[in-house]
Amino acid sequence: MSTELREQVRQRYAEAAKASSGCCNESCCSEDFGESLYTAEQREELPDAAALVSLGCGNPTAVAELSEGEVVLDLGSGGGIDVILSARRVGATGVAYGLDMTDEMLALARANAEEAGVANAHFLKGEIERVPLPDASVDVVISNCVINLSTDKRAVLAEAARVLRPGGRFGVSDVVAEDHLTPEERAERGSYVGCIAGALSRSEYVAGLEEAGFEDVSVEFTHEVADGMHGAIVQARRA
């Protein structure tokens, strides 16, 4: 089942990249998702294609508190919007990596970064459960509405901890369920590829991060995307 779900996710985002418009038949596209969650100033920093293909549920660059010279990794970087913004924040002495499993999204992201004139953005092909970077090589891990799409979230959180340096920061936007909702109830509210059915609950997210070796974990709901389901900011620090 996990292989089938992964292929559904890959196909859905490949279609979005080809359309360069972000919205397909069923997606994370509504007033609660996408480019509307970025400030006007941030959207002005981006090529139109990057903004239009934004399928996220938040704005992780707004909470990542990036500094000059840092190394940032975006899990599931899509059309590159958060990588481009991060690359600008960390400056010429820093690096922003984007990781995506979809060839079409990687091609779009590289084209967007080139159009934006960002030279310190690098896009890697791979899966967020198996990050192709060395141990302790990253200062900050970000992600935008992608971890909920993984069929092995325990592996994703463990990989985030592995690539982060001690004291490194985890700051993602994701869809998170209220604790009272069962997995079956979450599935009733939306599909897996629509960023709903696969969402962790708040307590599951906290427990998963702590198990992976994170401290100072917080999950802050920002806006409701379905009954009992919320866009959320998830933050933690690598022990």
Domain ranges of the chain: 2-238
| Inter-residue contact 58 to 82 (CB < 8 Å) | no
Pinpoint the alpha helices (H) of 33-144: 40-44, 48-52, 81-90, 103-116
Closest CA to 43 of 59, 27, 32: 59
Helix (H, G, I), strand (E, B) or coil at 22: coil
Model confidence pLDDT, tens digit, residues 155-180: 999 999 999 999 999 999 999 999 99
Which of the listed CATH numbers 3.20.20.70, 3.30.70.260, 3.40.190.10, 3.40.50.150 matches domain 2-238? 3.40.50.150
Q: Mind listing the pLDDT tens digit for each residue in 88-134?
A: 999 999 999 999 999 999 999 999 999 999 999 999 999 999 999 99
DSSP 3-state assignment of 219?
strand
42-53 burial, b for 16+ CB within 10 Å, e for fewer? Answer: bbebbbebbbbb
What percentage of residues in the chain have a pLDDT greater than 90? 64
234's enclosing H/E stretch is: strand 229-238
Q: Regarding predicted confidence, which is higher, 192 or 30?
A: 192
- Residue 205's region, left for phi above 0, alpha for psi from -120 to 50, else beta, is alpha
**Can you give the pTM of this predicted structure?**
0.84
Considering only residues 206 and 63, tell me which one the structure prediction assigns the higher pLDDT.
206
Q: How many percent of the chain have pLDDT more than 70?
A: 78
Question: What is the identity of the amino acid at 75?
Answer: L
pLDDT band for position 13 (cuts 50, 70, 90):
low
Q: Could you tell me the pLDDT band of residue 61, with boundaries at 50, 70 and 90?
A: confident
